[in-house]
Amino acid sequence: MALPVAIGAGVLNDTDHLIDYYLWYIKKDHRKLYFLLHAWEYCAAAAIFALVAGNHPVVLAAAVANAGHLLGDYIAHKPKSPLTYSVLYRAAMRFERVRLVGGSPPPLTVALDRNIPLWSHIAPRLPSRLLQYLGLEH
């Protein structure tokens, strides 16, 4: 049971990027950066809960997997502050993208390539209307 939870906690937290992608690429509003499921606070809460629950392997797996994901993101994306992966810090910064990471968001094709494994193999199989809507097909 711990393995599926670890996979879920380490991968499914990226679904929060959908909010940011919608704002950036559909609404064309680059001001905010939320990624609400990316937060060290969740790892700490899960670790504390695991200790209280007697080192429950499922909760520990979730905490470790989420921490590994955040560490990988931190190394790969090099945010302006080490606190960027704290939801409380992002809230204090009013989720303002420029204050958190600076610059403009990458083009959608680059963002999808970085964040969706095998995107280059998936994209050609998507309906052309969807690709046109997203601005991915010329």
What dihedral angle (degrees, nearest 10) is formed by the CA atoms of 12, 21, 111, 69?
-30
What residue numbers bound the domain in which 126 lies?
Answer: 106-138
Q: Are residues 98 and 110 in the same domain?
A: no
Is residue 124 within 8 Å of 34, Cβ to Cβ? no
What b/e readout covers 57-71, taking b as 16+ CB neighbours within 10 angstroms? ebbbbbbbbbbebbe
Q: Are residues 74 and 118 in the same domain?
A: no
Q: Are residues 72 and 120 in the same domain?
A: no
pLDDT tens for 23-73 read 999 899 999 999 999 999 999 998 898 888 887 888 888 888 899 999 999
Q: Are residues 68 and 27 in the same domain?
A: yes
Structure confidence at residue 89 (pLDDT): 97
50 versus 20: the higher-pLDDT residue is 20
What are the helix (H) ranges across the chain? 2-11, 17-21, 40-52, 57-77, 87-92, 97-100, 108-115, 119-122, 128-133
Q: Are residues 65 and 20 in the same domain?
A: yes
Q: Are residues 134 and 100 in the same domain?
A: no
Number of domains making up the chain: 2
pLDDT tens for 72-124 read 999 988 888 989 999 999 999 999 999 999 888 988 888 888 878 888 888 88
Percent of the chain whose predicted confidence (pLDDT) is above 90: 38
Q: Are residues 117 and 97 in the same domain?
A: no
Structure confidence at residue 24 (pLDDT): 92
Q: Are residues 124 and 60 in the same domain?
A: no
Q: What distance in Å separates the CA atoms of residue 105 and residue 102, rounded to the nearest whole number?
A: 9
From the list 40, 50, 35, 135, the residue with the least C-alpha distance to 83 is: 40
At residue 4 the predicted structure's pLDDT band, cuts being 50, 70 and 90, is confident
Structure confidence at residue 62 (pLDDT): 86
Answer whether residue 7 shows pLDDT above 90: no
From residue 41, give the alpha-carbon distance in Å to each of 47, 94, 120, 129.
Answer: 10, 17, 33, 40
Q: Are residues 72 and 30 in the same domain?
A: yes
Structure confidence at residue 117 (pLDDT): 81
Q: Are residues 95 and 116 in the same domain?
A: no
Structure confidence at residue 47 (pLDDT): 86
Structure confidence at residue 53 (pLDDT): 82
Instruction: Classify residue 127 as left (phi > 0), alpha (psi -120 to 50) or beta.
Output: beta
